[in-house]
Structure 1
Amino acid sequence: MKNKLIFLACIIFIAIILRLSALSKSLIENVYSRFFYKGLAGSLNKISGKFSFSLGEILLVIFIILLILFIAFTVKNLITEKEKLKILFNFLYAIVCTAVILYIIFMSFWGLNYYRIPLTENYSDYMEREIDNEDIYSLAEYLIKDINNLKSQMKYQNINTNFQALNRMVEEDYKNIFEEFDFLNMHYVRTKPIKSSKLFLYLQILGIYNPFTFESNVNILIPYISFPFTIAHEMSHQIGISYEDEANFLAYLVCSKSEDLFIRYSGDFEALLYLLGQLNRDENYGHLIDNLNDETKKEIREYSEFWKRYSGELSKVSKNVNDAYLKANSQKEGVQSYSRVVRLLVYYYRSKNII
């Protein structure tokens, strides 16, 4: 009993130290994110990257099976054995220890990236003026012009919408952002398809990063128009970007710098959806939509209808769980943090003197 309590106290102490280290963003950025994480993830993803399937999915299934068996074994002992308090103590002890150890691994392997210096600091000179609807309208107009131009060019070219082909191209395109964000440069590998993609549709999850196996995974049943953007989003988590708005921002930049028309179109399409979601449905909004080509308007309707088909109680539970997870990891806006990419896009295009 004494040894068990000492062990529990030790791992709790380690967990507290890790959490306290997160109070210094400078320490996390310069020591953990730019040094320790790069070395650890850059080495271990070389191993997980050798497998074409997701190791994380397999480990999750094994963990769930072991947990069910452990609970069943404990219930059986509670029924058949006399020392019920001892059995119950051992059960709770094992659960608490497992939770603390998983927390330590999570924080050490990736979680501390939630406390690094935000990417907005790169655009501090452009943050003095508040973002208003005029900024968002101007950026939306810019993207609509680019979308219309890309759509007209795509009519005369063969467009590759195959997941694996796009996966390879986005992996190559990722190198382009390191010219602007050299501190993010590290070894990374392409994403992997999620085998249980149908389930993830009902959870309304497009992709997921597994910090225990350093794998970026993508739901291969989502609308093909989202493939490049989602691939780039999940890969950003792999290079140490934890905030969802920053992951969306980097995903857009990767797509926008690609030579492939469809990849650029995917980035513009997803960014435009976020911008439109921030605007009031007024005359200016109607003017924006009127300027958008008919094919893209149709794709937006189809995109919305697609996700409505998978909306239900399961998706609500998934949203609430994700919301709680994000809030617990320094993202106060929860699931709303995804849409905060608009802020970063405005700062970025201010720095380019486009808006």
Structure 2
Amino acid sequence: MTPAIKSKIHRLIILSCIALLIFLLGLNSKLTELIYSGGLYQFTSVVQRLISSPFPFAVGDFLYLLLILYCLRSVFKAFKKIKNRKPGQQLQLFFPLQLINFTLILYIIFKLLWGLNYSRPSISSQLGLSNQKYSTKDLVLLGDFLISRVNTTKQKTKQTGSQRAFNIKELENKSKAAYDKLAKTNSLFTYRIPAVKSVILGETITKMGIEGYYAPPSGEANVNMLIPAIDLPFITCHEISHELGVAREDEANLVGYLVSTGSSDLNFQYSGYYNILRNVLLEIRIKSPEDYAILFKKINEDTLTDFAREQEFWKKYNSEMSGYLGVAFDKFLKINNQRKGTDSYQDIVLWVYNLHKKDLGKTLHP
């Protein structure tokens, strides 16, 4: 066995032990919250944003590019080494070990930078929300409630002349203000050193149906500025929640909803209600088409125009997203991988129902 292979085996043992410890930590959600999500991550994520925030471009995208170039360079060097190997030189174990070690390093870095947040306790439980399931009647009443909020906020934005689109810096500042507002009563929303960036490859990302994403290497929230302006406030609040360690998408939707609708800006409020109403209408369409038809007629004309424009936008870039926004039954099931069909529950709808059931009061539980 050559010294090079012995060195890689030693490295494999060390990396495997570290990866195993991280994996075992992730099996205990309370310990993960104590040590990582509520501890180490609160420090490392702020340091990441402190480094990346001054740059005017998405640093994470640049780091991903460097990673891709490094992988291509490594593959090229491997082929070159195989081609130029000396007679009798043993390379059978060298490259598999190198690949495994590299994969373990990526796993460890991802988990320590952000990935362990997937193992933390549910954000809904930390917010004190129950998981009480709703009936179809409850769902329809929730839809009616959200339509009322959408109609009211839309009317207010028109009356006050405050309806407008925001650039990326304005989205960052207004989202930060909305998070600060909620942080006064719940430290979960504490957002230090904001880092919100516009995605670099906007058209490519749009064709993939992506509205925004979090970059673990840089700690940035990346927003696709090509998507319709009405979605941007909610999407920004959603992506910022990933910066705070909210890993799961439905939980990020919940935080994004709470922050955007809790904002002092009417455009943010409308964006939050508008986006979650879409999820509720999807499920009502499946469970009770008759009630869906009745509710749909209650939506104001301007919001219906927003729905139509958004669907046209996604039809241009991504037909699957267009089907989703068009509340098509087959597309909804396909995108959400719902094997239970009409018996399925969307977590975001479940949580918003439990959040507002007291607001609905006697209507829900006479």
Partner of 2:141: 138
| Number of the residue aligned with 2:254 | 249
Residue 59 of structure 1 corresponds to 63
TM-score calculated relative to the size of structure 1? 0.87
Q: CA deviation at 1:353?
A: 5.5
The offset of 1:43, in angstroms, is 2.6
Tell me the equivalent position of 1:350: 357
Deviations 1:204-262 (A, max 9, x none): 11111111211111111111111001100000000111111110011111111111111
Q: Is structure 2 residue 146 aligned with structure 1 residue 151?
A: no
> What does residue 244 of structure 2 align with?
239
Percent of matched pairs sharing the same residue: 28
Consecutive unaligned residues in structure 2, runs of 5 or more: 323-335
Q: Does 1:290 align with 2:297?
A: yes
Of residues 247-256 and 29-38 in structure 1, the stretch that sits farther from structure 2 once superposed is 29-38
Residues 1:202 and 2:207 aligned together = yes
Shift of 1:263: 1.0
Q: Is the 8 A contact 1:25 1:115 kept in 2?
A: yes
Aligned partner of 2:122 among 114, 118, 124: 118
Deviation at 1:83, TM superposition (A): 5.5
In structure 2, relative to structure 1, the CA distance for the partners of 1:340 and 1:95 (3 Å cut) is same
Structure 1 portions without partners, runs of 5+: 316-325
Q: Give the AA of the match of 1:213.
A: S
Of 212, 217, 240, which residue of structure 1 is paired with 2:217?
Answer: 212
Matching residue of 2:40: 36
Contact 2:175 2:236 in 1 (8 A): yes
SS of 1:192 mapped into structure 2: strand
Who is 1:3 aligned against? Answer: 7
Q: Select the residue among 58, 66, 75 that pairs with 1:71.
A: 75
Match in the other structure for 1:269: 274
Amino acid at match of 2:30: S
Distance 1:291 1:70, change over 3 A: same
Aligned-pair Cα RMSD in Å: 2.8
Please say if residues 199 and 225 of structure 2, whose CA atoms lie closer than 8 Å, have aligned partners that are also in contact.
Answer: yes
Given that residues 123 and 251 in structure 2 are in contact (C-alpha distance below 8 angstroms), is that contact kept between their aligned partners in structure 1? yes
| Structure 2: distance between partners of 1:314 and 1:161 | 22
Match in the other structure for 1:97: 101
TM superposition shift of 1:185: 2.4
How far apart in 2 are the matches of 1:44 and 1:84?
A: 47
User: Hey, what's the Cα distance between the residues in 2 that align with 1:293 and 1:27?
Assistant: 48
Q: Could you state the TM-score of these two structures normalised by the residue count of structure 2?
A: 0.84
The answer to whether the 8 Å contact 2:234/2:256 transfers is yes
Letter of the aligned partner of 2:57 in structure 1? F
Which residue does the alignment assign to 2:309? 302
**Aligned pairs for 1:301-340 within 5 A:** 301-311=308-318, 339-340=346-347
Q: CA deviation at 1:192?
A: 0.3
Per-residue deviation at 1:305?
A: 2.5
Query: Quick one: distance in 1 between partners of 2:197 and 2:73?
Result: 29
Cα distance change of structure 1 residues 52 and 134 upon mapping to structure 2, 3 Å threshold:
same
For residues 111 and 100 of structure 1, what CA distance do their matches in structure 2 show?
14
Structure 1 stretch 234-243 or stretch 158-167: which is displaced more? 158-167
Query: Structure 2: how far apart are the matches of 1:341 and 1:62?
Result: 36
Deviations 1:25-59 (A, max 9, x none): 11111221111111121233112112121111111
Output the amino acid matched with 1:347.
N
The alpha-carbon deviation at position 338 of structure 1 amounts to 11
1:256 and 1:264 in contact (8 A); partners too? yes
Amino acid at match of 1:238: E
Q: Aligned residues, how many?
A: 337
